[in-house]
């Protein structure tokens, strides 16, 4: 059984920090709630990071008059084993690469900058993701077109979800009086705009492309998650509708029932 590698530790003055590759942060060893983000708190200079450091408070500084610049190496050199393990790049190759090159698929980035739209698999059919028009278009026939506005944002804001008919290739609205599972309908979940096309999202909303891509790297394969209808609100909706129908039948039966038996 392979042992987990020892965490990498770096030191600022008298403080030590553990390097967290997954979250891209430094976490103070004796005070884990104190984190320094390589994305939010540092400037990526390509071959190193620049950090404004408050020597007195021993933390990130927002006051230029009280800060001193600290230079940190790239993560590929601070923790080559961790970066190699996470991104599948041989350690020897990391020596000639920067963090951005390792974390972001450079070929996919080139395609995106050239205007080649990403594609997502919706129940076995490929659709092009066009965030400029806020729609999904069938990759082969260019029709049908599915508006992203027809999806609902999940509570955590990370995904869109909708009920989908694979044969019609359209998002559908459920009948609120449903009494059985809708035939041929599935529920799908897809990433939000940042997950679908971070480059286009950065361009549309005027965000810094490198920072966005560090947080949301381009996904090589986009595929909608199929959510079983049994795990949706449909079973509860059907039960409520059947119970309401049963009660309505009982009330109607009471209304037509004669109050007294006729005498003959």
Residue 39: beta bridge partners? Answer: none
98 HSE (CA, 13 A, CB side): 12
Which residue in the block uniquely carries the two structure tokens 């963090």? 99
User: Can you give the residue ranges of every domain in the chain?
Assistant: 9-100, 117-239
Q: Torsion angle of alpha carbons 9, 10, 16, 22, nearest 10°?
A: -60
Question: Each residue's pLDDT tens digit in the chain (264 positions)?
Answer: 445 668 899 998 789 999 999 999 999 999 999 999 999 999 999 899 999 999 888 889 988 788 899 999 999 999 999 999 999 999 999 989 999 999 999 999 999 999 999 999 999 999 999 999 999 999 999 889 999 999 999 999 999 999 999 999 999 999 999 999 999 999 999 999 999 999 999 999 999 999 999 999 999 899 999 999 999 999 999 999 999 999 988 888 877 666 666 565
98 burial (CB, 10 Å; 0-12 / 13-18 / 19+) is: middle
Give residue-wise pLDDT tens across range 14-48.
899 999 999 999 999 999 999 999 999 999 998 99
CA quadruple 124, 128, 134, 135: dihedral sign:
negative
Order of strands across the sheet that contains 35-37:
9-12, 15-20, 25-28, 35-37
41 HSE (CA, 13 A, CB side): 23
pLDDT for 66: 82
Rounded distance between C-alpha atoms, residue 257 and residue 196, angstroms = 60
Picking from 161, 165, 168, the residue whose alpha carbon sits closest to that of residue 188 is 161
Alpha-helix residue ranges (DSSP H) falling in the chain? 75-78, 80-87, 91-94, 99-103, 106-113, 193-196, 198-205, 209-215, 234-256
Picking from 195, 117, 137, the residue whose alpha carbon sits closest to that of residue 161 is 195
- Token reading at 244: 């309401």
SS3 (DSSP) at 130 = strand
Question: What CA–CA distances, in Å, run from 57 to 13, 25, 43, 69, 76?
Answer: 12, 19, 20, 14, 28
Residue 26 near residue 16, CB atoms below 8 Å: no
């Amino acid at each position: 059984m392979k042992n987990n590698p020892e965490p990498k530790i770096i030191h600022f003055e008298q403080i030590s920090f553990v390097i967290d590759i997954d979250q891209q942060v430094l976490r103070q060893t004796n005070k884990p709630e104190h984190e320094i983000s390589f994305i939010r708190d540092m400037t990526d200079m390509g071959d190193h990071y620049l950090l404004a450091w408050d020597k007195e408070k021993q933390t990130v500084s927002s006051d230029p008059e009280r800060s001193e610049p600290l230079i940190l190496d790239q993560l590929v050199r601070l923790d080559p084993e961790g970066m190699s393990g996470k991104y599948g790049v041989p350690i020897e190759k990391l020596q000639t690469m920067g963090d951005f090159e390792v974390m972001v698929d450079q070929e996919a980035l080139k395609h995106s900058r050239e205007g080649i739209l990403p594609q997502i698999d919706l129940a076995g059919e490929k659709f092009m993701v066009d965030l400029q028009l806020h729609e999904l278009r069938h990759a082969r026939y260019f029709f049908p077109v599915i508006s992203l506005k027809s999806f609902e944002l999940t509570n955590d804001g990370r995904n869109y979800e909708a009920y989908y008919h694979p044969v019609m290739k359209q998002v559908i609205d459920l009948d609120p009086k449903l009494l059985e599972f809708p035939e041929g309908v599935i529920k799908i979940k897809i990433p939000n705009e940042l997950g679908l096309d971070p480059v286009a999202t950065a361009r549309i909303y005027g965000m810094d492309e490198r920072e966005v891509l560090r947080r949301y790297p381009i996904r090589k394969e986009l595929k909608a998650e199929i959510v079983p209808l049994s795990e949706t609100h449909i079973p509860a909706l059907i039960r409520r509708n059947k119970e309401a129908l049963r009660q309505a039948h009982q009330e109607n039966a009471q209304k037509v029932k004669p109050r007294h038996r006729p005498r003959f």
